[in-house]
Amino acid sequence: MGKLLVADLTSRKITQQETDPKLCAEFIGGSGLGAALLYDFYFGRAGHGGGRAGAGAGCGAAGVPDALAPESPLWFLTGPLCGTIAPTSGRHAVVARSPLTGIWGESDSGGGFGPALKKAGFDGVCIVGQAERPVYLWIHDGECEIRDAAKVWGRDTYETDAALRAETAQKAVVAAIGPAGERCVPMAAIMHDGRDARAAGRCGLGAVMGAKRLKAIVAAGSARVPVADPDALRGAVREVAKTMPDKNPGLGKNGTAGSIAGIEHVGDLPIRNWRDGSWEEGAASLSGQRMTDTILTDRYHCPTCPLGCGRIVRIGAGKYAGVDGAGPEYESLGTLGAMCLVDDLEAVTYASELCNRLGLDTISAGAAIAFAMEAYEKGLLSKKDAGCELLWGDAAAVIDMVGQIGRAEGLGKLLGQGVRRAAAELGGLAPEWAVHVKGLEAPAHDPRAYNSVGVGYATSNRGACHLQGFTHIPERGVIMSDFGYTAVADRFGVAGKGKFTALMQDAMCVFDAAKTCKFALTAGVQPSTVASWLRCVTGLPWDYDTMMLAGERMFNLKRLFNVRLGISRKDDVLPPRLQLHKRGSGGAAENLPPLEAMLPEYYQHRGWSEEGIPLRERLEQLGLAKWAGDLPGQPAK
Amino acid sequence: MRIRVLLMTDEQGTPVKTDLELPDGATAHDAAKKLVAARGAGFGRMLWGDDGQWRVIVFVNRKDAAPETPLRDGDELAFLPPITGGAG
């Protein structure tokens, strides 16, 4: 293990500390380690009463520092695999209390920042406090400087990347916010790698940077990343890496959007704010294949990734000329395109690049615009409110609203707060079509197409999220042999979905902690493969069982974080549109996810009470009893 | 009988539909074998790989199906590769 850097922007004091090996043995790294560090800050490692929430604070947000408060920490964390030769390990996590949801916030990004931070000598960096004037951090070769960022404040993420690399080192990697983060828009993203635009998009963590007046972190270094047994790692990686591209050739060829037609076919693509069942021609127009045939100029591989799902595109002429950099991936096409009924690939590409430049989460932004289009159709918003007509399929309206959200102007100021707050403000029936869980807008996968996704959205610690459970991948053809499965499960089945979702969440916690891309699952990597890499890198005896136990520990600590903030069974729900309204046509025309039938099995497997509170017996098995303190909802001793 | 096949395997550019003539009682597997005969072994590897394991999921009329699912005149058959979809 290496070191952690703590930068207090109020006092301008920078300290370094050794990464705690005991914590790493329990929580691995990445967002798992982040959960331990953040929980310790807010609630104390001895549970209730030790942290900033203060002794005597019960469950609920009262007494807990706000997400945007100067004292609230923002962590960037690598994992043990990051910077090594392990395939797809060039990733890092960003964790903080989310300004969008108010609960546990984590976001994950590919690109070069994680490896650069590691090679600069640090496993992670924590930012607390608030600078008097805009600043950036320049982290290199074991050192960190706080530098003036006045020249780049107000500039977009692509411009900021170029300017700061010119000021520091061309080989440096920049994590930056755009105008959205500067204005503390709660759906602001943290963008990395300039025009290659790798995003820590979800949960609005760009706003946390903005509140601290931290424009960017720039990292570079050349230190060797420690590996306990390099020969064993080379051996473990060699065969896997060689066969990965062949096991999923489509991901490199046509990117994540190469699946959009198939996703539409099975009824998984949200269309017109989740109201329609099928949109075959629209999906074909937005497909990764169409992108390959038209605007694609190159493919982008994150460090050590043999798959290369990233797209580099250029639009040289026409209405959207000037686009030059990262192309939209599936989620961006699903939200800015299908949810808004826009089938013009170049227009959606333009809107996606605008999100990248302004530093906005494309998922939440697209979902908020689709929500607004429905509010406009139903008379809760007017042309005067929006500054334009918000008609389905109107690409110009989508682009206009992205700009308004990113600059916190006009109607965008309200939409940037997320659909939960926007619906509460608009009133009437608006909450009926605000599609979120715990305040996080649902991404472009429909729980009506996969019952397990319903359990996953309802219980994910950061709100509606397809990545925390990732169950739609095994239910569309990736057999999880590690779990003992030998075939693809019935996606509309009920029995077993609770347990399956919990297992996937635990495994994905490990991917998020070790720092491995989840798409590796589609190319032959199983959780036990990651355990073998972890064993080689850390020298610790990781195997499938110990790794899954660690995953369960991490998931439960994030849940405890949320329980401390008042989360319980009442919040483990799906939005009305996904729970009560059938799609009516397409590949999932008649299904509604039977959450009431699946959730008890999930809670039982997890060892949680019927109110969704982790019970002491399981917490003791996970080594979390001391963290939980006097958690409510426990049986009498 | 005549069915329509939606091809979304990786060999394809934009997803395409093609019509296929099959004898009565034919299954999705029979349709796949006829497509492989016409398109070559490379296409076959995308459907079931060198190890004989199916690499795609079968849908008939947008409903979950299996290689042994019998087809009827006018059916729409789809072979879909495992999905992807990102965003952090």
**Tell me: the pLDDT tens digits for B65-74?**
999 999 999 9
Nearest to A284 among B15, B85, B88 (CB): B15
Interchain CB contact of A45 with B (< 8 Å): no
What CATH number should be reported for the domain holding residue A49? 3.60.9.10
Q: Are residues A471 and A548 in the same domain?
A: yes
Q: Give B64's contacts in chain A (Cβ within 8 Å).
A: 490-492
Q: How many CB pairs under 8 A join A and B?
A: 116
Pairing of strands B2-7, A440-441: unpaired
Q: Are residues A433 and A483 in the same domain?
A: no
Integer Cα distance of A287 and A290 in angstroms: 5
Integer Cα distance of A557 and A628 in angstroms: 8
User: Does the distance separating the beta carbons of B80 and A476 come in below 8 Å?
Assistant: yes
Interchain CB contact of B51 with A (< 8 Å): no
Q: Are A180 and A189 in contact (CB under 8 A)?
A: yes
Q: Are residues A356 and A400 in the same domain?
A: yes
Q: Name the 3-class secondary structure at A238.
A: helix
Buried b (16+ CB within 10 A) or exposed e, B26-54: bbbbbbbebbbeebeeebbbbbbeeeeeb
Give the H or E element holding residue A535.
helix A527-538
pLDDT per position as a tens digit, A467-522: 999 999 888 888 899 999 888 889 999 999 999 999 999 999 999 999 999 999 98
Nearest to B57 among A293, A332, A476 (CB): A476
Closest-CA residue of chain B to A477? B82
In a domain, B61, yes or no: yes
Q: Are residues A208 and A256 in the same domain?
A: no
In a domain, A225, yes or no: no
User: Does the distance separating the beta carbons of A443 and B64 come in below 8 Å?
Assistant: no
In a domain, A269, yes or no: yes
Q: Are A403 and A354 in contact (CB under 8 A)?
A: yes
| Low-confidence winner among A252-266, A538-552, A610-624 (lowest mean pLDDT) | A252-266
In a domain, A266, yes or no: yes
Interchain CB contact of A89 with B (< 8 Å): no
Count CA within 13 A, CB hemisphere, residue A369.
40
Count CA within 13 A, CB hemisphere, residue A511.
28
Q: First and final CA of chain A: distance in angstroms?
A: 40
> What is this model's ipTM?
0.87
pLDDT at A59: 65
Q: Residue B58's domain spans which residues? A: 2-80
Among A388, A319, A317, A387, smallest CA distance to A351 is for A319
Maximum Cα–Cα distance for chain A, whole Å? 72
Cα A402 to the center of its chain, rounded Å: 20
User: Does the distance separating the beta carbons of A467 and B87 come in below 8 Å?
Assistant: yes
Q: Are A239 and A545 in contact (CB under 8 A)?
A: no
Q: Give A263's contacts in chain B (Cβ within 8 Å).
A: 83, 85
Q: Give B85's contacts in chain A (Cβ within 8 Å).
A: 256, 259, 263, 329-331, 334, 444-445, 466, 472
Q: Which residue has the tokens 């136990």?
A: A549
- Mean pLDDT taken over chain A: 95
Q: Are A91 and A52 in contact (CB under 8 A)?
A: no
Q: Are residues A301 and A406 in the same domain?
A: yes
Q: How far is B72 from chain A (nearest CA, A)?
A: 18
DSSP of A475-507: GGT---GGGT--SPPPTT--TTHHHHHHHHHHH
In a domain, B39, yes or no: yes
Q: Which residues pair with A17 in a beta bridge?
A: A4
User: Does the distance separating the beta carbons of B86 and A200 come in below 8 Å?
Assistant: no
Closest-CA residue of chain A to B77? A265
Nearest to A293 among B14, B55, B78 (CB): B14
User: Does the distance separating the beta carbons of B8 and A266 come in below 8 Å?
Assistant: no
Nearest to A284 among B14, B57, B62 (CB): B14
pLDDT surpassing 90 at residue A394 = yes
**Joined tokens for residue A597:** 């039938």
Helices (H), ranges, A15-156: 21-27, 30-43, 113-119
User: Does the distance separating the beta carbons of B64 and A490 come in below 8 Å?
Assistant: yes
In a domain, B26, yes or no: yes
Closest-CA residue of chain B to A590? B63
B2-16 mean pLDDT: 74
Integer Cα distance of A371 and A119 in angstroms: 43
Interchain CB contact of B1 with A (< 8 Å): no
**Joined tokens for residue A233:** 């790692």
Interchain CB contact of B36 with A (< 8 Å): no
Interchain CB contact of B86 with A (< 8 Å): yes
CB neighbour list of residue A404: distance below 8 Å, 6 or more residues apart: A387, A410, A411, A412, A413, A415
Nearest to B84 among A200, A443, A522 (CB): A522
Closest-CA residue of chain A to B61? A587
Q: Give A465's contacts in chain B (Cβ within 8 Å).
A: none
Q: Are residues A197 and A280 in the same domain?
A: no
In a domain, A246, yes or no: no
Q: Name the 3-class secondary structure at A111.
A: coil
Q: Are residues A325 and A470 in the same domain?
A: no
Interchain CB contact of A364 with B (< 8 Å): no
Q: Are residues A456 and A431 in the same domain?
A: no
In a domain, B87, yes or no: no
pLDDT surpassing 80 at residue B85 = no
Q: Which residue has the tokens 């991948």?
A: A473
Interchain CB contact of A473 with B (< 8 Å): yes
In a domain, B46, yes or no: yes
User: Does the distance separating the beta carbons of A329 and B87 come in below 8 Å?
Assistant: yes
pLDDT at B87: 47
What CATH number should be reported for the domain holding residue B60? 3.10.20.30
User: Does the distance separating the beta carbons of A248 and B82 come in below 8 Å?
Assistant: yes
Hey, how many other C-beta atoms are within 10 angstroms of the C-beta on A582? 12
A607-635 mean pLDDT: 91
In a domain, A467, yes or no: yes
User: Does the distance separating the beta carbons of B81 and A309 come in below 8 Å?
Assistant: no
Q: How far is B24 from chain A (nearest CA, A)?
A: 25
Q: Are residues A281 and A372 in the same domain?
A: yes
Hey, how many other C-beta atoms are within 10 angstroms of the C-beta on B8? 24
Nearest to B81 among A250, A329, A587 (CB): A250
Compute the C-alpha angle A4/A76/A208, nearest 5°. Answer: 125
Question: Over pLDDT 90: what percentage of chain A?
Answer: 89
Instruction: State which amino acid sits at residue A97.
Output: R
3-state helix/strand/coil string of A566-592:
CCCHHHCCCCHHHHHCCCCCHHHCCCC
> Any long-range contacts for A454-457 (C-beta under 8 Å, 24+ apart)?
A454/A574, A454/A578, A454/A579, A454/A593, A454/A594, A454/A595, A454/A598, A455/A497, A455/A498, A455/A501, A455/A593, A455/A595, A455/A598, A455/A599, A455/A602, A456/A501, A456/A504, A456/A505, A457/A574, A457/A578
User: Does the distance separating the beta carbons of A202 and B57 come in below 8 Å?
Assistant: no
Among A186, A91, A202, smallest CA distance to A468 is for A202
Q: Are residues A54 and A199 in the same domain?
A: yes
Interchain CB contact of B7 with A (< 8 Å): no
Give the H or E element holding residue A254.
helix A249-254
Pairing of strands A3-8, A122-128: parallel
Task: Tally the domains of chain B.
Answer: 1
pLDDT at A54: 63
Integer Cα distance of A210 and A186 in angstroms: 10
Q: Which residues pair with A13 in a beta bridge?
A: A8
pLDDT at B88: 46
**Joined tokens for residue A160:** 């900021």
Q: Are A254 and B12 in contact (CB under 8 A)?
A: no
Q: Which residue has the tokens 């700009």?
A: A403
Compute the C-alpha angle A30/A31/A36, nearest 5°. Answer: 105
Integer Cα distance of A367 and A363 in angstroms: 6
| Low-confidence winner among A241-245, A273-277, A608-612, B40-44 (lowest mean pLDDT) | B40-44
pLDDT surpassing 60 at residue A377 = yes
In a domain, B52, yes or no: yes
pLDDT per position as a tens digit, A145-158: 999 999 999 999 99
Closest-CA residue of chain B to A204? B88
Q: Which residues pair with A360 in a beta bridge?
A: A188
Integer Cα distance of A255 and A622 in angstroms: 38
Instruction: State which amino acid sits at residue A203.
Output: C
Q: How far is B75 from chain A (nearest CA, A)?
A: 14
User: Does the distance separating the beta carbons of B87 and A362 come in below 8 Å?
Assistant: yes
Q: Are A400 and A408 in contact (CB under 8 A)?
A: no
pLDDT at A6: 98
A611-615 mean pLDDT: 96
In a domain, B88, yes or no: no
- Backbone dihedral region for residue A470 (phi beyond 0: left; psi -120 to 50: alpha; all else: beta): left
pLDDT at A631: 83
Interchain CB contact of A142 with B (< 8 Å): no
In a domain, A228, yes or no: no
DSSP of B9-67: STT-SS-EEEEEE--TT-BHHHHHHHHHHHH-HHHHHHHH-TTS---SEEEETTEE--T
| Residue of B10, B68, B79, B84 to mutate, testing the A interface (most A Cβ within 10 Å of its Cβ) | B84
Q: Residue A512's domain spans which residues? A: 451-628
Q: How far is A213 from chain B (nearest CA, A)?
A: 23
Q: How far is B33 from chain A (nearest CA, A)?
A: 20
pLDDT surpassing 90 at residue B49 = no
Interchain CB contact of A476 with B (< 8 Å): yes
In a domain, A236, yes or no: no
In a domain, B28, yes or no: yes
Q: Which residues pair with A6 in a beta bridge?
A: A15, A126
Among A442, A543, A539, A450, smallest CA distance to A488 is for A450
User: Does the distance separating the beta carbons of A262 and B8 come in below 8 Å?
Assistant: yes
Task: Tally the domains of chain A.
Answer: 3
